[in-house]
Amino acid sequence: MAHYFKNLFYVTKMTRVAGLPQTSSQRAFDMFLKVRHLQELNGGGGVVFATGTPVTNTMAEMFTMQRYLQGVELERQGLQHFDSWAATFGEPVTAIELSPDGAGYRLNTRFARFVNLPELMQQFRQIA
């Protein structure tokens, strides 16, 4: 059910990068506040998310899952903001793509390549 809470608001300066959703939901923010409250009461634990699809559409979903379940750890590492997380673990890639109408080509930048992948996977495996 955790996949219902993927649209958690985050701030980024990467406004012209495809693949980074700029949508947010009140349901996700409500869950974020509840998770933080439970973690404060239980010394950082007390919360389990269950989903078969923790990351399906964008790399930002991995950051969102980490915010829910590893918020304190992200803060400790200085990665609590998306742009710092993205600069540490990802890289925007610019490539020529077919335009949506199929009439030509255009340059498009996507947040599509991981860097420091072993470190990211070590962190993510603690919660996945």
26 confidence band (pLDDT: 50, 70, 90)? very high
pTM value is 0.84
Beta strand pairing call for 90-98 and 105-114: antiparallel
Number of domains the chain is built from = 1
**pLDDT given for residue 115 in this prediction:** 93
Full residue range of the structural domain in which residue 41 is found: 2-125
- Do 85 and 116 contact (CB within 8 A), yes or no? no
Is 105 in a helix, a strand, or coil? strand
pLDDT in tens, 46-63: 899 888 877 877 888 899
Structural element, H or E, at residue 90: strand 90-98
pLDDT in tens, 65-86: 999 999 999 999 999 999 999 9
Q: Closest Cα to residue 123, out of 79, 60, 93, 87?
A: 79
Quick one: pLDDT at residue 81? 95
Alpha helices in 12-109 (DSSP H): 26-41, 60-76, 82-89
Q: What pLDDT digit, counting tens, does each position of 96-112 carry?
A: 999 889 899 999 888 87
Please answer whether residues 114 and 89 qualify as being in contact, where contact means their C-beta atoms are separated by less than 8 angstroms: yes
